[in-house]
Chains A and B, each alone.
Chain A
Amino acid sequence: MKIAVRINGKSHSREVEPRLLLIHYLREVVGLTGSHVGCETSLCGACTIELDGKAVKSCTMFAVQADGASLTTIEGLAVDGKLHAMQEAFWNEHGLQCGFCTPGMIMASKQIVERHSDPTEEEIRHGLAGNVCRCTGYQHIVNAVKAAAAGAGK
């Protein structure tokens, strides 16, 4: 089937197998390997991207389901070499260790701040419940989301 999508502001059109997962389309067809496959069952969130402005898990969507959609992946956050505030906050607050969950974690965190301009710790923690990190114990991630939200409110 032929699909047309916008990814990080660029148009892509391509014939794909109906069973091709969106994450594999992004990683192996388009070559954007920043989003990761952590579980193939939508339970870990390492594959989280934005589809038409909403955070989705791209490991349990078919590429054909994204036809006509506008996607943002971790590679699309920094503009002209300037990091997105959430990327900067993860860096400043040591919100990552091995880094494997990080792209999905940053995409989910961005969504939290978009939904709550001044999120409480509880809102942040519940907003991250679909994303697993095995390294950080989440505390520095919570700090990063708080810091990014505080920065965005200025």
Chain B
Amino acid sequence: MATTMTEVEKLVGKRIRRREDPRLITGTATYVEDIQMPGMNHAAIVRSPHAAAKIRSINIKRAAEAPGVVAVFIGKDTEKVGAVPCGASLPGLRVPHHNILATSLVYFVGHPVAVVVAQNRYLAQDAADLIEVDYDVLPPVADPEKALAPNAPAVHPQWPDNVAFTYHLEGGDVDKAFAEADVVVKQRITSQRLIPMAMETRGVVAEWRGADRQLNLYTSTQIPHLVRTLVAQMLGLDENRVRVIAPEVGGGFGSKLNVYAEEALMGFVAQQTGKPVKWIESRRENFLCTTHGRGHVDYYELAAKRDGTILGIKLKIIQDIGAYHQLLTPAIPTLSVLMMPGIYKTQNVRADVVGAFTNCMPTDAYRGAGRPEATHGIERMVDILADELNMDPVEIRLKNFVANDQFPFHTATGLMYDSGNYAAPLKKALDIVGYHKLRQQQAEARKQGKWIGIGISTYGEICAIGPSPATPAGGWESATVKVEPSGKVTVMTGASPHGQGEETTFAQIVADELGVNIDDVLVVHGDTAIVQYGIGTFGSRGTAIGGTAVYFALQDLKAKIKSFGAMLLESDDVALSGGQVICNKTGKSKSVPEIAAAAYRAMKLPPNTEPGLVSTRFWEPPNFTFPFGAHIVVTEIDGETGDIKIRRYIAVDDCGNIINPLIVDGQVHGGVAQGLGQALWERAVYDENGQLITGELMDYAVPRAHMMPWIENDHTVTPSPVNPLGVKGVGEAGTIGCSPAVVNSVVDALSPLGVRHIDMPMTPEKIWKLLIPESVK
């Protein structure tokens, strides 16, 4: 059939509505809790009400005899199951052996002690309430600085100093930089403990097929393959006989980038009882027993010349580890260290990290994971320096930015920033907000007694995590692309998206590369029995690494499609365009479905070519990517109540090339909401007894619709040279850019009072106390 060459409209770059949405908007998607199996039992977990205690005895008799109870297990029953794994390694790291059920000691509120298995969830909970645990209560410590003080209670008796690890990194000549400085500014800055609060709590369904020694594990996770490897190890099963399925996953934000006790525990229960079992985490358990985020106390020192040139940075981080290590706990603050210079060119840095055990839930990755802390710190310090030198915060930033001709830029912390144009998003954001006029309006408003603030943050971050040498368990990603015999295209991605929209963005890439209709493309993920080994979705890596793996698999297929096309058209001079292989001489063509049929029928094959149209690629990135941007926040403070109103929020982000602007904007909005949550409202509070007193949504203030400002989005585009798509990643940018812009804005508003720093969350009470005179405090 002769066709004319037609230019097909490209889909990459288009605002396309998502292909995963129909099942989600009709209530027909399947989350873990929606799974039902014949004979399935339900589990309820008994947890420690104490932050630190010795278990004297556990009496399960009444529970075991309660109606509908199938089994009860306690720590001594599960002693053979391997410990909850810590995937991070640092020199001298102390790793407590964390059993899936406590044996002799409990060391945080929520520590699992026993599991009750019953015919339904109500009966399981009834029986769980009948378990009697006799505790010898011990003194706890719930604050990381107090934990490091002499004579603090020891979280683990074998390590009385509560030090989990120390980490030092130094670049350049810090002592010289500080000796030569005209000015040194210092500030203690905290990034409080936060609760990730994915809308879907964790949940597990485990099914044991004894005759095959096969465990099927449905779990709400960001990393199904890593869960498979590690749970198989914990249970002593063959990895290829553990099938992990992450069905629909209702958000993660890092809190499901983990391997949890309950995943192995449900596998154990299914094995022991021979029946499927379901455990669904309650929201209360989610607050107590799913990883928390942040938990930094930072001590910053910035050395500078009088003209605003930053000469060097010293940083001491005290990281609240919690009671033990979850998968990546100790690695998180090391990311803060890598990112400590921000997007400024200073080459003299020194960082010291101390990880402190506390009788609290472990911290781990939470949206941004180490980079929000670093960005918050450096962006606050730059404003404090500007204040000290009486400089405009814009001017001091422009003076210190890595210049466009310095890329690729080697930082003093050992990173290589791939590409950047740091002034561009700042200038764009300043234009949008009308900066100079706004400063005049602010001066006028101040005369009228109004508290108006303008806050800027210019962030950089690390995305596409990451090259394998820098990432525990590997930092590559995999893709298989199959052109089926009918010409339909199936993509299997090792990244396991859970809201990020890769079923759409990957299909856009496929449609453009092969010239097929996007409706003919299906993206499959989240089942280790179907999808080749993969790493997962976290660290803004899905598109930059997972998408690139798809891209390279498509290049293989394009070559093969062309070679089949050339054979069928009996010509060496062919091109692939618009889903057709076209002979450049005759204009004759063969469509992708025609070629696919021929490739599988295999009546005739091109030289040295196998039948079929499938390619699997494991793509190892040569570097991280480094997105950046500028956020500007205008606040107005109620002088009587301390309430903060956000008048404008401008987010100009540069995440490299954009595949779907609708999805990118959504990622920024969600990221900003979590950044604002940290800046203004959210804080996980443990009292002195180690009780989590913000243990429900009633007490822990996540942003709601009426609390959020309108976000004015814009972008600059600086493609990444690290991958052929030129993409960088955008999942965490909003969170990273947000919090310092908000705090800088409020500090700016209150600067006439001499306010120089406010720790988050900036609750009305905290602001009100700054506003009222000493005499009435």
Contacts and interface: CB of A to CB of B under 8 A. Distances in A.
Interface of A: 17, 19-20, 24, 27-28, 32-41, 43-44, 46, 73-75, 77-78, 83, 87, 90-92, 94, 96-103, 106, 121-122, 124-126, 128-142
Contacts of B698: 41, 43
Contact of B27 (A40, A75, A126): A75
Nearest to B708: A138
A128 B706 contact: yes
A133 B704 CA distance: 7
21 contacts: A27-B33, A27-B34, A33-B30, A34-B27, A73-B27, A74-B25, A74-B26, A78-B26, A94-B18, A98-B249, A98-B251, A122-B706, A128-B706, A131-B705, A135-B199, A136-B673, A137-B708, A138-B669, A138-B673, A138-B704, A139-B669
B673 A98 contact: no
A134 B197 contact: yes
Contact of A96 (B21, B33, B283): B21
Given A38-B200, A137-B669, A140-B666, A99 B708 contact: no
Contacts, number: 179
A102 B670 CA distance: 15
B28 interface: yes
A98 B705 contact: no
A34 B199 contact: no
B744 to A, nearest CB: 20
A103 B27 contact: yes
A132 B674 CA distance: 12
A10 to B, nearest CB: 15
Nearest to A17: B122
Contacts of A40: 282-283
Contacts of A138: 669, 673, 703-705, 708
A75 B282 CA distance: 24
B570 to A, nearest CB: 46
Contact size range, B: 35 or more
B711 A101 contact: no
Contacts of B674: 134
Given A32-B27, A36-B199, A134-B674, 18 more contacts: A33-B27, A33-B31, A46-B199, A87-B26, A91-B22, A94-B663, A96-B24, A97-B251, A97-B499, A97-B500, A99-B21, A99-B24, A100-B248, A100-B250, A106-B25, A131-B705, A132-B702, A137-B669
Interface of B: 17-18, 20-31, 33-34, 36, 121-122, 197-201, 248-251, 253, 280, 282-283, 498-501, 662-663, 665-666, 668-674, 696-698, 702-706, 708, 710-711, 734
A73 B282 CA distance: 22
B705 A125 contact: yes
A36 to B, nearest CB: 7
Contact of B199 (A19, A20, A38, A141): A38
Contacts of A91: 17-18, 21-22, 25
A109 to B, nearest CB: 10
A126 B707 CA distance: 9
Contacts of B706: 122, 125-126, 128-129
B711 A137 contact: yes
Nearest to B250: A100
A interface secondary structure, majority: loop
Contact of A98 (B499, B662, B663): B499
Given A100-B199, A134-B198, A134-B251, A75 B28 contact: yes
A136 B25 contact: no
Contact of A99 (B248, B280, B710): B248
Q: Which interface residue of A17, A35, A128, A139 has the most chain B CB atoms within 10 A?
A: A139
Closest 6 CB pairs of A and B: A34-B27, A100-B250, A99-B24, A137-B669, A98-B499, A74-B27
Given A83-B26, A134-B253, A136-B666, A98 B704 contact: no
B704 A96 contact: no
A137 B17 contact: no
Contacts of B703: 137-138
A66 to B, nearest CB: 18
Contacts of A136: 666, 669-670, 673
B708 A139 contact: yes
